[in-house]
A and B are shown apart, each in its own frame.
Chain A
Amino acid sequence: MDRQDVLLETTDLARHYPLTRGLLRIRSGSLRAVDGVSLKVRRGETLGLVGESGCGKSTLARCVLGLERPTSGRVLFKGREVGEWERKDRCRRMQMIFQDPYSSLNPRKKIGAMVGEPLRIHGLGARRERRAKVAETLGLVGLDPEHAGRYPHEFSGGQRQRAAIARALVLEPELLVCDEPVSALDVSVRAQVLNLLDDLQERFGLTYLFISHDLSVIGHISDRVAVMYLGRVVELARSEEIFKAPLHPYTEALLSAVPVPDPERAARPVRLTGDLPSPSAPPPGCPFHPRCKKALDVCRTTPPELKSVGERGLVSCWLY
């Protein structure tokens, strides 16, 4: 399975932000947004990345896209360090969809100009060819090519997100990083956009790195799921496995918070107490132990390694 074509690989990726104090900007510590993440994304699959806000999901995405330079560790895209790619080459092969379609579209640009901008940046095609490509791409995402002449404020949230997807697709990338692409949308529109992403993946063999805080969304779209907590991956397994039998106590708690539309089944959420610890002062040992019901003595002192549990996947917990 691991012999399959790996499109994206991070090894021990870390991104720390320096914290400074006072007028002289004396370094007083660092905020560990991403703290040693190793992941592999295979061509054509969807890797879901789930975790509560502030766990470093978006920072990871920015590092993958080359928008941030990692503090340490590597990001390999098609076997080559992301930072070594020529900017335009890299941009043609990986694109991003943002969370909020109200802020990810320039309010002063018409939809057509916006979708066509990547083509202009990369000098692809003459004006007429670009216009045809824009119309085709708008059609792909379920928008009327006539809409090219409209401004973003004339669209609904779902339509805006479709336009944003068109912008990401127009360069025909291989990897799409989706950072909470449906979190800002109405529940009724979510399914449509998720289905659209599914269809597009099937049609073009796209690879998704799909970030969300919502396990039900992740479960719908992902082949494999990585659960992040405080900048680290605590569990990684096939989507069905995670939902059937979560191993890590944190995954368990996340899962129990997903509402199940079954009145017969009583909701028994495993409640998490306390807040997410600050990533600038992570607790010693396992970062989850202050909130963990099953914490052992060893959890308080020594951080667990991410290790494989049979064929099932990887988990970082002293219980296994």
Chain B
Amino acid sequence: MSRPGVARPSAFRRHGLLWLGALLVGTMSLAAIFAPLLSSFDPTAINVDAMLRPPSAAHWLGTDALGRDVLSRILHGGRVSLWVGFVAVGISTGIGLVLGLVAGYCGRLADEVIMRGVDVMLCFPSFFLILAVIAFLEPSLLNIMIVIGLTSWMGVARLVRAETLTLRERDFVLAARVAGAGPARIVFSHILPNALAPVLVSATLGVAGAILIESSLSFLGLGVQPPEPSWGNMLMEGKEVLEIAPWLSLFPGLAILLTVLGYNLLGESLRDLLDPRLKQ
């Protein structure tokens, strides 16, 4: 409903941070998807003639101690980060949705059991829990994704439970019951679609969290194992030669920063956009 004569702020002015976040996320995702096409070097190819070269025309972001091209390694490392982010968030959101719906809809007993379970899970400092579990398991990419997913569903569960508790009392749910709808139809057709907006926000923020955890694990040597590149293990390798070749740490660090920033901006702006209480 535009009023004539009143200048409306442009889409960018109104949702500037949203667009910035989307731009960062989009760029990083495209770069990761098309990494094999964009990189001119094999990310694991050792070249003893070009070790620790600073950024140049041939190697835009320089080379590491084994002469590997940093740009190619960052591009390929991005695939690991985003893959971990999406799969881990997929697992945690799935678990959180199911448990939240059950806790919110299936009565007092289920609610108590599930929410106390959430409390127990929240008692553990999750990063140390992940460290401990990964130390026992083989530090493979799959294990990392599963462990991150299994330790980060609690927020989603609480969110979905709270939404479910309010939605189930709404008249349109009662109307569905009056129309003869069974529990499955009520939950999936009436409650779930109305509870998804905050879940979307939390999933977006969750991707950023998962990427950070994966980088931290790889930095500590418990994540993606060399020579396979990941932003975390590149940082770890870079710190040995920080004084003579700072670009080895700078660029993977920047990649992490921009990606996490992008997802956080996107998530926060989506929250503002989807929350009806903040409208107008």
Given known A-B contacts A103-B170, A108-B193, A167 and B175 have beta carbons under 8 A apart: yes
Interface centre among B174, B175, B181, B189 (most CB of A within 10 A): B175
Besides A95-B178, A104-B172, A121-B181, 10 more A-B contacts (Cβ < 8 Å) are A91-B178, A91-B180, A96-B174, A96-B178, A104-B171, A104-B174, A105-B175, A106-B176, A107-B194, A117-B176
Mask for B216-251, Cβ within 8 A of A = 1, else 0? 000000000000000000000000000000000000
Residue of B171, B181, B185 touching A103 (CB-CB under 8 A): B171
Mask for A90-119, Cβ within 8 A of B = 1, else 0? 111001101110011111100000000110
Residue of B171, B174, B179, B193 touching A91 (CB-CB under 8 A): B179
> How distant is the Cα of A121 from the Cα of B181 in the complex, in angstroms?
6
> How distant is the Cα of A108 from the Cα of B171 in the complex, in angstroms?
14
Please tell me if the beta carbons of A171 and B179 are within 8 angstroms of each other in the complex: yes
Interface centre among B171, B177, B179, B194 (most CB of A within 10 A): B179
Given known A-B contacts A108-B193, A108-B194, A92 and B180 have beta carbons under 8 A apart: yes
* A-B contacts, 12 listed (Cβ < 8 Å): A67-B177, A67-B178, A88-B180, A91-B180, A104-B172, A104-B175, A106-B172, A106-B176, A108-B193, A108-B194, A118-B179, A167-B175
Please tell me if the beta carbons of A167 and B180 are within 8 angstroms of each other in the complex: no
With both beta carbons as reference points, the residue of chain A lying nearest to B176 in the complex is identified as: A117
List residues of chain B with CB under 8 Å of any chain A CB.
Answer: 170-172, 174-181, 185, 189-190, 193-194
**Chain A residues with CB below 8 A from B194, complex form:** 106-108
Please tell me if the beta carbons of A117 and B179 are within 8 angstroms of each other in the complex: yes
Please tell me if the beta carbons of B180 and A87 are within 8 angstroms of each other in the complex: yes
With both beta carbons as reference points, the residue of chain B lying nearest to A86 in the complex is identified as: B180
Q: How many A-B residue pairs have CB under 8 A?
A: 53
Please tell me if the beta carbons of B171 and A100 are within 8 angstroms of each other in the complex: yes
List residues of chain A with CB under 8 Å of any chain B CB.
Answer: 65, 67, 87-88, 90-92, 95-96, 98-100, 103-108, 117-118, 121-122, 164, 167, 171
Please tell me if the beta carbons of B180 and A65 are within 8 angstroms of each other in the complex: no
With both beta carbons as reference points, the residue of chain A lying nearest to B171 in the complex is identified as: A104
**Chain A residues with CB below 8 A from B189, complex form:** 117
Closest 7 CB pairs of A and B: A91-B180, A104-B171, A118-B179, A106-B172, A103-B171, A98-B171, A108-B193
Please tell me if the beta carbons of A98 and B180 are within 8 angstroms of each other in the complex: no
With both beta carbons as reference points, the residue of chain A lying nearest to B108 in the complex is identified as: A25
With both beta carbons as reference points, the residue of chain A lying nearest to B185 in the complex is identified as: A121
**Chain B residues with CB below 8 A from A122, complex form:** 180
> How distant is the Cα of A107 from the Cα of B180 in the complex, in angstroms?
19
With both beta carbons as reference points, the residue of chain B lying nearest to A65 in the complex is identified as: B178
Interface centre among B176, B185, B193 (most CB of A within 10 A): B176
**Chain A residues with CB below 8 A from B181, complex form:** 117, 121
> How distant is the Cα of A107 from the Cα of B189 in the complex, in angstroms?
12
> How distant is the Cα of A290 from the Cα of B100 in the complex, in angstroms?
47
**Chain B residues with CB below 8 A from A164, complex form:** 175
**Chain A residues with CB below 8 A from B171, complex form:** 98-100, 103-104
Please tell me if the beta carbons of B172 and A105 are within 8 angstroms of each other in the complex: yes
**Chain A residues with CB below 8 A from B174, complex form:** 67, 96, 98, 104
Q: How far is the CB of A161 from chain B (nearest CB, A)?
A: 12
